Amino acid sequence: MADSVRVYRALVGAQIRSQSQYRASFLLDVGFTTLFCAMEIVSVLVIFRVTPGLGGFDVREVLLIAALCQCGFYCADLLVGNVELVSKYVRTGLLDSVLIRPRSSLGQLLALDFPFRKVGRAVQGAVIYAAALWWAGVAWTPARAVLAVVAPAATATLFAAVFVAGATVAFWWIDSGEFANAFTYGGRTFGSYPMGIYPLWLRDVFAYGLGIAFAGYQPALALLGRPDPLGTPAWAAWLSPAVAAVAWAAALALWNTGIRHYRSTGS
């Protein structure tokens, strides 16, 4: 395990040094990706220019939901988002060179194309989340203080599972990028708002079927100490770490199934 961690760190370090060689280009890339993150939060605030509430929540509460969801998403995108490139590896046969090495195939793919330019979005997401916590006026208790730290990590793990599961589809359907994006980037947008604004079938499929409600909505309810207008029990709001763990285990099982299914390009 320790040896694998050292190899992973060496690969990521090489990627960071490579990407930072052209500093002006790198800084512009970081700047634009960071601006994109800010615009996502601004879009939430714009909605409240025309309405005083959304799904029974005010602007501070919705901002906390959105900030928590997007903070976790951007951390997941930084750490595992490049797994989307697996379709290119499958199509070109480059995956063969990954599989013959005595290391985790998933770990290698994540390290070989580590997107260090996305670090700005992850940092800004964390800052916006901290500001949203302060503005929401959370009545702090020891349990909520722990949840405030654990929830973004759980959200990141949940979205990481969605990234990996979506990318795994490429083992059966190579041109699956748009399909996977519907669940990754679409899930980020879906999870940034109260679940009550969506029709019942969307809540059944995405909010609780795929667990997206536990990315921002449910942990925000626990932090705010308010009941769910949809009637879910109060204890459900504390389940985001457990849901994330189950999702990650399922994603890894699907990935291993895809690896076993892979038959190379034959070239």
Ordered by start, the domain boundaries in the chain are 2-261
Question: CA dist 185 to 73, 77, 156, 190, 245, Å?
Answer: 9, 10, 13, 9, 20
Range ranked top by mean pLDDT from 39-43, 47-51, 254-258: 254-258
* Selection from 100, 59, 40, 43 nearest residue 194 by Cα: 59
- pLDDT of 27 reads 59
Write out pLDDT tens, residues 218-243. 999 999 999 999 999 999 999 999 99
On the question of pLDDT at 11 being above 90, the answer is: no
More confident residue, 138 or 119: 138
Predicted local confidence at residue 42, as pLDDT: 80
Please give the pLDDT value at position 111. 74
Give whole-number Cα distances, 255 to 56, 105, 172, 183, in Å.
39, 10, 12, 16
Report how far residue 65's alpha carbon sits from residue 194's, in angstroms, rounded to the nearest whole number.
7
Q: pLDDT value at position 46?
A: 85
Which range (3-12, 158-167, 197-206) has the least confidence?
Answer: 3-12
Question: What is the rounded CA–CA span in Å between residue 220 and residue 91?
Answer: 41
State which of 17-31, 91-105, 180-194 shows the largest mean pLDDT.
180-194
| Average pLDDT across the chain, whole number | 83
Looking at residue 7, its pLDDT comes to: 54
Q: What is the mean pLDDT of residues 1-26?
A: 56
Q: Is the pLDDT of residue 93 over 80?
A: no
pTM of the model: 0.86
Mean pLDDT of 198-222: 93
pLDDT value, residue 192: 92
Tell which wins on pLDDT, 136 or 94.
136
Written as six digits, the tokens of 160 are: 């990481």
